[in-house]
Chains A and B, each alone.
Chain A
């Protein structure tokens, strides 16, 4: 086995209940996460990402398959015997302990001598910039500060893998952006493998080294943010990551004919049959009538830097174009224009 693998999940499945009432939370997931990697499990709620995380933490035991941590089988190891720590969505800070006692809890339970605990706590609190709050109680801190305490508490025992269960979901947008770069910095500084669970695709794209997209208990695609965005494996991934237009088409003569009768020259993996074209809004440009596919503007949304135009094609399908606001003349609703389509992903229908 590759010694650079931190977590290796093989055919992990989790089924709740038995018989007719059985619910499959996790299908048959296989995944290798490299040491020192910032790995994100991304998917809508109920997709099994948290279940997978809880299996790695040890709070759930998979009903099938195995999980290895640095080569050791930990499938049935209890959480308190795994060198893995979790940052909980609700933080789960101990309300009766001070910030320093919270952060030192894991080390104390590991039986580290008191002076070593004190030193580690001071070091980790400095890392998350909370030195002056050491003697406060969690309920005296703001949400963002509590978040940092939860992080510090999970980092203090220096786990091999840090698990983060949607830790930023309770923060407001500004704080969330701040914590995103903070997390990235902490991960680089400590070199610890981070496994991050989120349903926020933007968060996943900005922070991760690699992303695993999940849906309905299955892992659909694993790749770098760039790969996932530019080369989605299927319609679900394309739709979930960023905004995407879908146009149905048929393959004929190595080209794709869409509903309007227009023919697009795109790179094809298949030679015949029905396909779905995934087109990012920024790949759609608006051109004068006659120089592209005929379209009519049905809606405009000014977004600051960009303007989003919703356009209706002749066959009734809609397509969204994202255009830089300052470089184009504003189009109005009802304007007859034409569109030109740049890069297109062809997906099997």
Chain B
């Protein structure tokens, strides 16, 4: 008879006990997001910060701009091109890390068990190094008087240094380098679980090497591919240090553009609105990605 009430009080106790965690979660995770969302619908302050007045100006300025003289409204091409560049570079980074990461993960997974830890350690070493230092190291390699150009000129392949630094290519090289481990590790986990007998089975059942890759290996390691792609794509989209150091002032990505609004631009509402847009883009791409991949699964 007392069992139901006992269960109920257990449930209430459960909630009470998890209150500290819930409060922390609300304050630490949702709090800052709510502040960002709130700032995006306020009026910009005179120098920085916000005035506590409701305004759509921040969101308006994400897509449009007003002429200083006659107040005519036009599309903010610069903002759009920054968004587009960010998405483009992030997709390219994801693809590059995938094509470099799959053979790497495969290589490690096919080593004897005793040496795999060593190879994985090599992959993770960059993680223990400061991002800024790694980015400057890349800069040292690709700048006009850097290692790459010097080597190419010494070997007589080129007579003039190739301008790589401060281009999209430089940003791409930097991001691919920085995010490669994030692709390799989930791919390794997937390839490590892969039953290599299945390759023999496919080969026995008249599949060519290409068909084995496409019809057997890739579909089975797909969870690893999805995890790696998400882990690379999302931080790429919000990258700040790499485009700042390797892309120079002109080749901005969303991260730099947002920072600009909170710094020199002194437009916090626009910065907050851009941040919210970035978050939405990430969420939408996550949903699309999982939808697309689960539909592929049913196609077989």
Contact = CB atoms under 8 A, between A and B. Distances in A.
Contacts of A93: 201
B197 A105 contact: no
A86 B219 contact: no
B207 A109 contact: yes
A88 B200 contact: yes
A229 interface: no
Interface in A62-116: 78-81, 84-86, 88, 90, 92-98, 101, 105-106, 109-110
Interface in B194-213: 195, 197-198, 200-208, 211
A88 B201 contact: yes
A87 B253 CA distance: 54
Interface of A: 57-59, 78-81, 84-86, 88, 90, 92-98, 101, 105-106, 109-110, 153-154, 157
Contacts of B204: 57-59, 79-80, 84-86, 154
Interface of B: 195, 197-198, 200-208, 211, 215-216, 219-220, 222, 297, 300
B193 to A, nearest CB: 10
A79 B209 CA distance: 11
B17 to A, nearest CB: 38
A95 B300 contact: no
Contacts of B208: 80, 109
A109 B300 contact: no
Closest 3 interchain pairs by CB?
Answer: A106-B205, A92-B201, A109-B206
Interface centre among B195, B206, B215, B297 (most CB of A within 10 A): B206
Contacts of B203: 58-59, 78-80
B206 A92 contact: no
Contacts of B202: 94, 105, 109
Contact of A96 (B197, B205, B300): B300
B94 to A, nearest CB: 22
B113 to A, nearest CB: 19
Contacts of A96: 219-220, 222, 297, 300
A157 B197 contact: no
A153 B205 contact: yes
Given A88-B201, A96-B297, A97-B300, A80 B207 contact: yes
B200 A79 contact: yes
A110 B206 contact: yes
Given A80-B207, A153-B205, A95 B200 contact: no
Given A81-B206, A93-B201, 11 more contacts: A79-B200, A80-B203, A80-B205, A80-B206, A80-B208, A86-B201, A88-B200, A96-B220, A96-B300, A98-B300, A109-B207
30 contacts: A57-B204, A59-B200, A79-B203, A79-B204, A80-B205, A80-B206, A84-B204, A85-B205, A86-B200, A86-B201, A88-B200, A88-B201, A90-B195, A90-B197, A92-B197, A92-B200, A93-B201, A94-B202, A94-B216, A94-B220, A95-B220, A96-B220, A96-B300, A97-B300, A105-B207, A109-B207, A110-B206, A153-B205, A154-B205, A157-B206
Contacts of B215: 105, 109
Contacts of A88: 197, 200-201
A54 to B, nearest CB: 9
A90 B201 CA distance: 11
A57 B200 CA distance: 10
A94 B219 CA distance: 10
Contacts of B300: 96-98, 101
Nearest to B222: A96
Contacts of A154: 204-205
A280 B152 CA distance: 81
Contacts of B216: 94
Contacts of B197: 88, 90, 92
Contacts of B198: 92, 94
A97 B220 CA distance: 10
B205 A105 contact: yes
A286 B297 CA distance: 68
Given A88-B197, A92-B200, A94-B198, A157 B205 contact: yes
Contacts of A153: 205
B205 to A, nearest CB: 4
A109 B200 contact: no
